[in-house]
């Protein structure tokens, strides 16, 4: 997925954490397209190929990706589903909608801190009187762009009750 940066080595837009930090939002039939990614002990193996497939579908449909939002659902050590937000139904794609109340919190640092972030996120959710029903990860930039920007932001987004 490309952006309007003049530096062609940057493929991900720079992420602004403030709109996602400790936010509670309600989604009503928010549109996504879904793809599967093979993982090896939760580490994505074919993430780039899946993103390219989704990008081709979006470009062909002349669709927009609101916030470049891409939710990752780690379903097992061997599989991850990705949900890429879109502004309309995409012919030929696996279209999905997601509805509910969602809480998000932004973290910054190496991916190895994910376990620590998840524990802290759970404490934050509970301290706000909520319970997580379904948890997604949003890896806001690819490793190459995170290095260029000097920040590796990851957003944890959970459906809450």
Contacts of 78 (CB under 8 A, 6+ apart): 38, 39, 40
For residues 83 and 71, the answer to whether their CB atoms sit within 8 Å is yes
Where residue 69 falls among pLDDT bands split at 50, 70, 90? very high
- All structural domains of the chain: 23-160 (3.20.80.10)
Residue 43 has pLDDT above 90, yes or no: no
pLDDT digits (tens, 9 = 90+) for 107-142: 999 989 999 999 999 999 999 999 999 999 999 998
Give residue for tokens 């936010």: 23
Please provide the average confidence, as pLDDT, over all residues in the chain. Answer: 92
**Predicted local confidence at residue 46, as pLDDT:** 87
């Amino acid at each position: 997925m490309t952006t309007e940066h003049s530096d062609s080595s940057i493929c991900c837009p720079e992420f602004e954490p403030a709109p996602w930090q400790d936010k509670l939002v309600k989604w009503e039939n928010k549109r996504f397209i879904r793809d599967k990614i093979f993982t090896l002990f939760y580490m994505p193996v074919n993430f780039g190929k899946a993103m390219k497939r989704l990008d081709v579908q979006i470009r062909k449909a002349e669709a927009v990706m609101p916030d470049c939002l891409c939710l990752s659902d780690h379903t097992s050590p061997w599989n991850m589903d990705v949900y890429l937000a879109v502004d309309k139904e995409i012919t030929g794609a696996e279209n999905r909608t997601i509805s509910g109340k969602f809480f998000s919190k932004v973290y910054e640092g190496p991916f190895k801190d994910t376990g620590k972030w998840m524990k802290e996120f759970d404490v934050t959710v509970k301290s706000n009187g909520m319970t997580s029903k379904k948890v997604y990860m949003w890896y806001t930039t690819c490793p190459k762009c995170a290095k260029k920007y000097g920040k590796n932001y990851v957003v944890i987004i959970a459906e809450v009750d």
